[in-house]
């Protein structure tokens, strides 16, 4: 039976690379995957998802398929063998709420990739909803600079300090992020390599 999946992980846990590989696996078998992202996420260009490893792929937009009634949405999806949604944390909760009915009605699996929590460790509303309704929930792992598993998405200011307040979504801002374990998130310790990189970018821009 087709299932609704939520594969979550901190930044740098290869979510997009995994999404691209799953789409490739479907195509290799002669099947047709539909790869989507929410319109709010246009960091990599309008209709592209891009992994840190360098893999890229064309995608469509969640909003262009998921509108109208459930029957209408199912009609739009029926030409595909699976739906893959990247950056799912930016979807609207009302869209997420429809996913189980769409999976059951179409028999098409929907595989969602995204962050579970923001830089303050608060859940994104779409991710929180998915945690409640997904048939399968899997964690994609990444590591802190100390080698421990990293679950915290730390937002950094220009000096490399861990930011402790601000808006949940700041796409297109100049802020940067790094994944830290809980101990180093709480301590605000981003590691020597990251500090070095920030110092280097400062001295480069002052030349």
Say which DSSP state 150 is in: -
- 75 assigned to active site: no
Tokens standing for residue 179: 């994944």
106, containing H or E segment:
helix 93-106
Q: How far is the CB of 145 from Zn ion (least distance, A)?
A: 6
**Contacting range for Zn ion; rule: CB under 5 A; set: 9-17, 33-41, 69-77, 176-184:** 176-184
Beta bridge partners of 56: 50
Nearest to Zn ion of 112, 144 (CB atom): 144
Q: How far is the CB of 150 from Zn ion (least distance, A)?
A: 7
Strands (E), the chain: 4-8, 33-37, 48-50, 56-58, 60-61, 82-85, 110-114, 136-139, 152-156, 176-180
Site for Zn ion in 141-170 (CB under 5 A): 144, 146, 148
Q: How far is the CB of 143 from Zn ion (least distance, A)?
A: 8
Closest residue by Cα to residue 105 from 69, 141, 132: 69
Site for Zn ion in 178-197 (CB under 5 A): 181, 184
Q: Is 82 in the site for Zn ion (CB under 5 A)?
A: no
Interface residue list for Zn ion (CB under 5 A): 144, 146, 148, 181, 184
- Give me the active site residues, please: 87
């Amino acid at each position: 039976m087709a299932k609704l999946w939520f594969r979550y992980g901190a930044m740098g846990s290869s979510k997009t690379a995994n999404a691209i590989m799953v789409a490739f696996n479907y195509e290799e078998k002669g099947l047709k995957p539909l790869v989507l992202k929410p319109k709010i996420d246009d960091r990599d260009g309008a209709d592209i998802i891009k992994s840190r490893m360098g893999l890229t792929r064309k995608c469509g937009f969640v909003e262009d398929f998921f509108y109208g009634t459930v029957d209408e949405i199912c009609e739009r999806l029926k030409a595909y063998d699976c739906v893959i949604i990247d950056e799912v944390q930016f979807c609207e909760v009302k869209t997420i709420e429809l996913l189980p009915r769409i999976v059951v009605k179409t028999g098409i699996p929907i595989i969602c990739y995204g962050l579970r929590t923001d830089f303050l460790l608060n859940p994104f509303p779409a991710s929180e909803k998915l945690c409640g309704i997904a048939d399968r929930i899997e964690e994609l792992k990444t590591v802190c600079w100390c080698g421990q598993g990293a679950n915290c998405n730390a937002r950094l200011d220009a000096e490399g300090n861990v930011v402790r307040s601000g808006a949940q979504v700041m796409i297109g801002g100049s802020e940067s992020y790094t994944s830290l374990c809980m101990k180093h998130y709480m301590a605000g310790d981003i590691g020597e390599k990251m500090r070095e990189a920030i110092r280097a970018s400062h001295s480069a821009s002052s030349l």
